[in-house]
Structure 1
Amino acid sequence: MENRIQWRGKAKGSSSLLTDPKSRKVIIVEHPLLPLHVKDAIARILFNNLQVPSISFASSHLLSLLAAGRTTGLVLDCGHLESAALPIFSSRPLYPHLRTTPLAGARLSSHLRALLLFFGTYLPPPTSLSAAANIPASTRATRVPEEVLTDAVIEEIKTRCCFVGDVLDTNEVQVQSPPGDDSVELDVPPSDSGMSESEFSHVSADMESNMSSAQPASSGYSVVSHSQARSSLDGPQPGESHLQAISKMYERHSTATDLKMKVEPPVAQQVGTGRGTLVIPGWIRERSAEVLFEGGDVDESSVAEVILDSLLKAPVDLRKTLASSILVVGGTPMLPGFISRLHTELLRAISPPTSQHSSRPPSRPGRPRPTQYDKYACLRQLVPYFAILNNPSPPPLQPNPPRGSLNAGKAPAFTPAAMAWVGGSLAGALKIGGVEVPRERWDEAEAEPEAEDPSAMQVDPTTPPRPSNILPDWTRSPLPYGAPPANLAQGQHQPTVVVSAVGA
């Protein structure tokens, strides 16, 4: 069985990669919090199955920064499961200052699905061609079934339809719940696919004419007119939930158009002609990403607060350099307007807090009111220096700008999702990488436990020994700052990841 697996690995490496794995060194782009047992499994497959000569582990944040032509900066990797901010100084990742948040692509997908279930509109396929011509679209409109919003549909909507809007005025964003409405909102709306018109889905009156006259586009999308807001937009009405009040506020300030998307109908509706139509409101396309910028929670900080928290933990003399060299990578920042909105949110989060309790009477008369907690007060002097290296639309420069703010938009125009892979290719071409583990050392580490103690008892005799002590792990030993001492014993293992600087 072992020979078969090894032969299959060799064949796949030779036929799919079109190269001989025995003559290629491998650089593994890893997450800073990658568990050690996962590294051990990757190394075991590469050494035992593909028989590569050596492997190197390099942080994705560091490789992304090298692709931007920098060796010092603060990298925010906003991926699918989490967003991680890591400061890097002179090609040395400062792992103890790493900060993460679960607000990332997965949270955006679940939030987008919930908004479409509440406020989207679904037009089932007509039962016949005559019904499609005679029955108006507003009569056939129903709430969106959960079977329609598959993971593939949500991913396509997120990548092809959504974008990040500008910041709304804080006075208009604060929408209060209607008086006397203490009901708890449901996370998932009650299923009622037989309704002819959903109270959560509102489309414009001229959708019927657009539905009958518009021709289906080749890509499956077609633009319909913007949904008209209801008659009263001044505030929450009696019997109106807080979520509906926020949707009205977003509809009032949204300029995005609604989109129609052809989707596969549920199994119960596949007897009709053609596919169903999912109407995506424009304000959902524009405001679904607001969940990534809503912070204030200890466990779920926003993407802007993660950057500021990492700056707070960094050394004081490095904060100005790190603030002027922020790099945003990952798949989620590919949303149009994400990086520009992030820069605005950084300035908003670092601004002085508004005294909301100034109008309230003091709890203890005769004593001064305690000052409001200002978490980022020590970072407020860095406001002129904040600059995102790959900002596609940097803010206009002020007269006599600081030197650090000139870095905005100076990074190469690589896709944020491909920055780590570009850096890995650069590190492989220049023969610079992390700690290199050769195959000979791996084989020696596998044979060491048997030679030292042959009678050692193992829990599972079929499980081979795991030489994970030779793999780099920054959590096992402290990271020294600067160059190693000169009196270091020759041949001693260095636990840190050291990458040579790349010339600009």
Structure 2
Amino acid sequence: MDKSLVILEIGGAYTKCGYSGESTPRFIIPTDLSPIDLSQYLSSGTPYFDNSITDNSNTDNNNNNNENVKKNRLPTSLELKDALFNFLNRLFYKYLLCKPNEKKIVIVENILMPRLFRQSLASVLFERFKVISILYLSPTVSLLPLLRTTALIIDIGLRESRILPVYEGVGLMKSYKTITNGQFNILLNLKKMLLDDLITKNRSVVLDNMNNEALPVNEAKAAIESLSNNQLEDIAVKTLVVSPLNRQLSAVGTHYQLSQQRSIVISPEVRLHAADILFSNPMLNNQPTTTTTTGDNNNNNNNKDDYNSYCDNDDIVDLLLDTLAECDIDIRKSLTHSILLVGGTSMLPGFKSRLSQEIEKRLGSSLSETNTQQQQQNNRYKQLNGLSNHFEFIKHAFQPNYLMWLGASLVGTLDSFSSHSRITNEQFTKFGINKLPEYEKMTHLLPPTIATSLFSSVSK
């Protein structure tokens, strides 16, 4: 029997799967849990919009729009188990080509993965696929391929961005922070900017490839609004660039072919600024307020002195600085020298450079003149001003989108591994879901003896 372990990293958009000891995942496939869309639920545990259910109970009689209102809800345990069974069945028998009842599973998961999803996933793997055991690992394993024990891990996902400081192999949960800003916000902003180019700026956005002429506004608008998330993601990956903060970057427009008959013109402005929403703080006047969420526009002008007033308006830069501010003062410098970016969104060209520039700006080191709101923002991080020139990113040869999977692959090569985050089939049969490890027991990188043996073997 093959002793290799199955390594799974189930994300809101994609799932990485493969075997232990391998340097890259065998497959990176969409996390398709049809008929329910759990991309938002997997990221933050929040309700998702169910396209099959509509709710007309709260419709306004004075509203002329008679379209049904999509109802948001949480999935049930039965729905999750059925969707997970279909998904894992394809994964084991179509992609990995293995018998799951002969395999041990290693799962890399978000620390705050919804409890119901974790329970449903364990139930499906143990009860239906009869796997031998499951080992749960946290994002801290991304440090193992780098032979590091200290880092500030910035994970930019589909719907959510997370920052976890790790010091000497211990994840500092008191400083762990998340924000609902990720790749999905870029996709929404991309569609919004394309519509602005068409309607507000009267630019030719959608072309007919047969005669190379622009489509009428109504047809072009319908074509843009009908773009799927997969198409928007493909446009973002192939055309978008994160522009520098303090200098102009020249770029040319490009065409993205939708079909043999139609193509979309991506203007230089769209290419350079669609991703700016990751760094956009509505509390600052000079930042673009291309917020794509609803219900917050009326609150953007409310100036509150309370610290909690920033929670709904923060971006990735504020999240990073808030995390550092809540860490002990004697470890901040070590963390700033070891910033680790993971997640596919961080692979956008220019992202790392822009993040460094935004950090310097928020700390006030690159601002010669500031208005009142900007000055308040700088005072918020006054205690971090001494770190302004100490922010460094960890350089490595791996791809950020599968770095956590790679760390789990290394753990799977060990003869013995952590027992506090592992559960066997016998234990699950006897104790059920109550035996599942809690997230506060998973923030350690590895037990000291195992970490030492792994680092020594890799260094040889």
Residue among 102, 106, 113 paired with 2:180:
102
Query: Which residue does 1:263 correspond to in 2?
Result: 258
Residue among 114, 120, 127 paired with 1:35:
114
Residue among 385, 389, 396 paired with 1:380:
385
Q: Confirm whether residue 125 of structure 1 aligns to residue 208 of structure 2.
A: yes
Q: 1:323 to 1:6 in 2, by over 3 A?
A: closer
CA contact (8 A) 2:362 2:377 kept: no
Which AA in structure 1 matches 2:321? L
Shift of 1:10: 7.8
Distance 2:194 2:340 in 1: 32
3-state SS of 1:277 partner: strand
Shift of 1:438: 1.4
Query: Which residue does 2:63 correspond to in 1?
Result: none
Which AA in structure 2 matches 1:91? G
Which residues of structure 1 form unaligned runs of 5+?
A: 170-252, 265-273, 359-369, 390-408, 446-466, 480-493
Q: 1:141 to 1:381 in 2, by over 3 A?
A: same
3-state SS of 2:158 partner: coil
RMSD: 3.1
Shift of 1:386: 1.2
Which AA in structure 2 matches 1:125? D
Shift of 1:496: 6.6
Residue among 351, 354, 364 paired with 1:351:
364
3-state SS of 1:33 partner: coil
Query: Which residue does 2:16 correspond to in 1?
Result: none
1:284-299 matches, within 5 Å, as: 284-295=270-281, 296=283, 297-299=310-312
Q: 1:95 to 1:335 in 2, by over 3 A?
A: same
3-state SS of 1:421 partner: helix
Shift of 1:371: 8.7
Moved more, 282-291 or 105-114: 282-291
Which AA in structure 2 matches 1:442? F
**Deviations 1:52-79 (CA, angstroms, capped at 9, x unpaired):** 11111111x2122223221111100001
1:297-446 matches, within 5 Å, as: 297-351=310-364, 354-357=369-372, 374-389=379-394, 409=395, 411=396, 413-431=397-415, 432=417, 435-445=421-431
1:170-189 matches, within 5 Å, as: none
Shift of 1:17: 2.1
3-state SS of 2:137 partner: strand
Shift of 1:280: 0.9
Q: Confirm whether residue 146 of structure 1 aligns to residue 227 of structure 2.
A: no
Q: 1:7 to 1:94 in 2, by over 3 A?
A: closer
Which AA in structure 1 matches 2:135? S
Greater C-alpha radius of gyration: 1
Query: Which residue does 2:132 correspond to in 1?
Result: 53
Distance 1:167 1:371 in 2: 20
CA contact (8 A) 2:241 2:275 kept: yes
Instruction: Give the total of aligned pairs.
Output: 329
CA contact (8 A) 2:338 2:392 kept: yes
1:16-31 matches, within 5 Å, as: 16-31=95-110
Query: Which residue does 2:438 correspond to in 1?
Result: 473
Distance 1:56 1:167 in 2: 43
Which AA in structure 1 matches 2:165? P
Shift of 1:298: 2.8
3-state SS of 2:331 partner: helix
TM-score by length of 2: 0.65
3-state SS of 1:84 partner: strand
CA contact (8 A) 1:91 1:498 kept: yes
Query: Which residue does 2:166 correspond to in 1?
Result: 88
CA contact (8 A) 1:122 1:276 kept: no
Which AA in structure 2 matches 1:377? K
CA contact (8 A) 1:124 1:141 kept: no
Q: 1:114 to 1:498 in 2, by over 3 A?
A: closer
Which AA in structure 2 matches 1:286? L
3-state SS of 2:412 partner: helix
Distance 1:88 1:107 in 2: 27
CA contact (8 A) 2:343 2:401 kept: yes
**Deviations 1:430-476 (CA, angstroms, capped at 9, x unpaired):** 3545611111111111xxxxxxxxxxxxxxxxxxxxx33211123xx
TM-score by length of 1: 0.59
CA contact (8 A) 1:36 1:468 kept: no
Distance 2:148 2:445 in 1: 15
Shift of 1:168: 3.1
**Deviations 1:173-223 (CA, angstroms, capped at 9, x unpaired):** xxxxxxxxxxxxxxxxxxxxxxxxxxxxxxxxxxxxxxxxxxxxxxxxxxx
3-state SS of 1:285 partner: helix
Which structure dedicates a bigger proportion of its chain to strand?
A: 2
Q: 1:24 to 1:117 in 2, by over 3 A?
A: same
Distance 2:343 2:151 in 1: 16
3-state SS of 2:208 partner: coil
CA contact (8 A) 1:6 1:48 kept: no
Distance 1:165 1:112 in 2: 15
Distance 2:122 2:169 in 1: 24
Shift of 1:9: 7.3
**Deviations 1:98-143 (CA, angstroms, capped at 9, x unpaired):** 11112210001000000001115334538xx7xx3xxx836x5647
Shift of 1:15: 6.0
